[in-house]
Chain A
């Protein structure tokens, strides 16, 4: 049983199943408190008692900030999910548009929040809209992908049934697809809820007047350890609560638990016609991205000083007198970022998959692992960036740790799910030959885990870019994250827009590269995933 299913299981055995989770939670608090006492003089760690004391003393301030952030996150959550539903319906009802819709959606998802925040701030001023839009941007992709999977997650005979009564795709959508996709939609919403909170907070980092993000910046600047930990704790608690509430609501309407979502990979391209089709799709996506970009600037009618179009970016990178300097600056920043991003990314993947395997080999760890996976899956990790900076410092280690943490959690949850998906009959064959747990792991469980592992690896590419740019911006002052923040504050909008384009492009390429490796591996180990 997955951690998620554990939270959504029948209430009869709820108490018994919850016990390890509660014990795990108590253990986490105890270790946290003891660690805080042990390192009291280091001024980096505030324990649960310190957090509680701070919250009691500042409840009015924290309450107001929380309400502001919650309300921005909620509006962004609704808007982002509406956009996801709309995009999914377009892709479904007009199948030819799907690769363009998903390509565009991926590119927009890869836009670095660190840079889109300041740009939206320029467009919308000091109000709430930048936070709301960043929350929506953080949400829509994590809903769109499962929704696209879910809308097709029905046997062909259900559609034959609809057609046999002379009804078309709208009846199939209404009677079959909508209900069939509901568990997937709910699973997407559960992941989206903390992401919305994260988006709203990042939006508030960029110059809002109120909210948890504003307080976080204030706490970091003042080196207020108690306040930093209190803010991260509240963000975590709220995210877990929303996650559980959506799960509870899902239990009321669904007969089965929401599935653990694996974004379906694309079949790898082979044959001349397929390569041609893929090339056309990429060209179309690029065309749509450029069109939307131009169109948005024309509609919003913002001063060309702030708003740079595709031609401006091309000019800044290739034609302007200082183009070579701009390229050199960007290249150097990207190298600085890659040096921290890549080790963090791979360390996170290895740690996530490794711990999942350990949990399978040592079932006694299951209780604490379940608690961790529920809690950590719902935590907006980047909001804990200030904590990692406090604990690991502002240098390379802190950045690598944060990226690794960002990648670790989804990888761990997905891999644990994948390892447990090992086919029972194949496991029985191994049992019948008295194969030990290690052999079972190597021969059956790891191959069964590969689809989940790669799905997590792919989805972690934009997430790790978000993490590294946020840390560079808030803490280290190096790399592309810092370059974007500095460009925004110096009003160097040519550099800012060029950075956005480059980071989004590289993230999308990274995502596609992992997807290509994934397709090759799955063709051997899980060909049904590519059907």
Chain B
């Protein structure tokens, strides 16, 4: 069944598991459901397998077991129609192309028409006005991340996969990006999956948080984030926000404790 051309897709992973060559279990059999048009964060300790889940949904890794449905279609079909886009932790901009060139590359790869005015508008939206013809080497880390997000949004994907997209930038830039950029995909009602190891970022950006255990990844908590939108940095001082952060932290600690019991008994 093809993806509904007008609405964002629901993503369902059934019994999804991944064992790498050499026997490393990255993801234990897990069933996940990501609601259409929502932003869901996957939070977990480093190396727990959250990026592997995202890469399997993106069709960049083949699951060892289980299946993935994106609006009723397998990832390969979604890939062929270029209905999804990934923003990686590393901005992965091609150094020989300008900001505009990198955005146009995505349109070209997705076989979408290049409309210069739309590209300009996207560049303005991510705050890179005046840097359209600049090459990545001349941009700061935050600017490169903005360009990478603009590239991911250029094809107007129905499913947006963000793999620690703010992981390589400083704290201030990270806060700024976390405040500005969600408005871009929220306005389009895109189904968004965010992988992060920052609990505050997950609470700030998402509608729902899935807390994962250490490797092999399994869901240890499913936390709904009922905070009003748009969200700004002031929200971080709100009691509801801090309660959610505490909930996520305790779920993370619980998952860690189950996986790694204390070395010395008290």
Chain A residues with a Cβ under 8 A of chain B? 155, 157-158, 160-167, 171, 175-176, 179, 255
Contacts and interface: CB of A to CB of B under 8 A. Distances in A.
Interface stretch (B87-95, B192-200, B241-249): B87-95
12 contacts: A160-B55, A160-B86, A161-B86, A163-B59, A163-B79, A165-B82, A166-B80, A166-B81, A175-B94, A176-B94, A255-B96, A255-B137
Contacts of B88: 157, 160-161
B153 interface: no
B109 A165 contact: yes
Nearest to B78: A166
Contacts, number: 56
A160 B92 CA distance: 9
**What 7 A-B pairs are tightest by C-beta distance, nearest first?**
A166-B79, A165-B109, A157-B92, A166-B80, A164-B86, A157-B88, A165-B110
Contact of A175 (B58, B92, B105): B105
Contacts of B59: 163-164, 166
Given A161-B88, A164-B60, A165-B110, A255 B135 contact: yes
A163 B60 contact: yes
Contacts of B79: 163-166
Contacts of A164: 58-60, 79, 84-86
B38 interface: no
B145 interface: no
A455 B80 CA distance: 42
A193 B154 CA distance: 43
Contact of A155 (B90, B109, B137): B90
Given A167-B109, A171-B109, A179 B90 contact: no
A179 to B, nearest CB: 5
Given A164-B79, A164-B84, A166-B76, 16 more contacts: A155-B90, A160-B55, A160-B60, A160-B92, A163-B59, A165-B82, A165-B85, A165-B106, A165-B109, A165-B155, A166-B79, A166-B80, A166-B81, A175-B94, A175-B105, A255-B137
A163 B56 CA distance: 12
B128 to A, nearest CB: 19
Nearest to B76: A166
A179 B86 CA distance: 22
Contacts of A176: 94
B92 A179 contact: no
B92 A161 contact: yes
A378 B155 CA distance: 48
Main secondary structure of the interface of A (DSSP, over half): helix
Given A155-B90, A161-B86, A166-B79, A179 B109 contact: no
A162 to B, nearest CB: 6
Nearest to B82: A165
A158 B86 CA distance: 11
Nearest to B106: A165
A179 B94 contact: yes
Contacts of B108: 175
Interface in B100-142: 105-106, 108-110, 135, 137
Contacts of A165: 79, 82, 85, 106, 109-110, 155
A19 B110 CA distance: 51
B59 to A, nearest CB: 7
A157 B135 contact: no
Contacts of B86: 160-161, 164
Given A160-B86, A255-B137, A155 B105 contact: no
B82 A166 contact: yes
Nearest to A166: B79
A251 to B, nearest CB: 14
A54 B152 CA distance: 66
Contacts of A255: 95-96, 135, 137
B109 A175 contact: yes
Contacts of B95: 255
B137 A158 contact: no
Nearest to A179: B96
A112 B165 CA distance: 55
B137 to A, nearest CB: 7
Which of A164, A167, A179, A255 gathers most chain B CB within 10 Å? A164
Nearest to A175: B105
Which of A160, A166, A179 gathers most chain B CB within 10 Å? A166
Contacts of A166: 59, 76, 79-82, 110
A93 to B, nearest CB: 19
A415 B81 CA distance: 50
Contacts of A155: 90, 92
B166 to A, nearest CB: 16
Nearest to B60: A160
Interface string B217-247: 0000000000000000000000000000000
A166 B155 CA distance: 13
Which of A162, A163, A165 gathers most chain B CB within 10 Å? A165
A332 B219 CA distance: 74
A155 B106 CA distance: 17
Nearest to A154: B94
Which of B58, B60, B82, B109 gathers most chain A CB within 10 Å? B109
A171 B88 CA distance: 19
Contacts of B84: 164
Contacts of A162: 109
A442 B55 CA distance: 44
Contacts of B106: 161, 165
Nearest to A164: B86
Which of A161, A162, A255 gathers most chain B CB within 10 Å? A161
A176 B97 CA distance: 11
Given A179-B96, A255-B137, A157 B90 contact: yes
Contacts of B58: 160, 164
A166 B105 CA distance: 13
Nearest to A165: B109
A483 B110 CA distance: 62
A239 to B, nearest CB: 29
Which of A155, A167, A171 gathers most chain B CB within 10 Å? A167
B42 to A, nearest CB: 17
A166 B106 CA distance: 11
Contacts of A167: 109
Contacts of B60: 160, 163-164
Contacts of A163: 59-60, 79
A415 B94 CA distance: 30
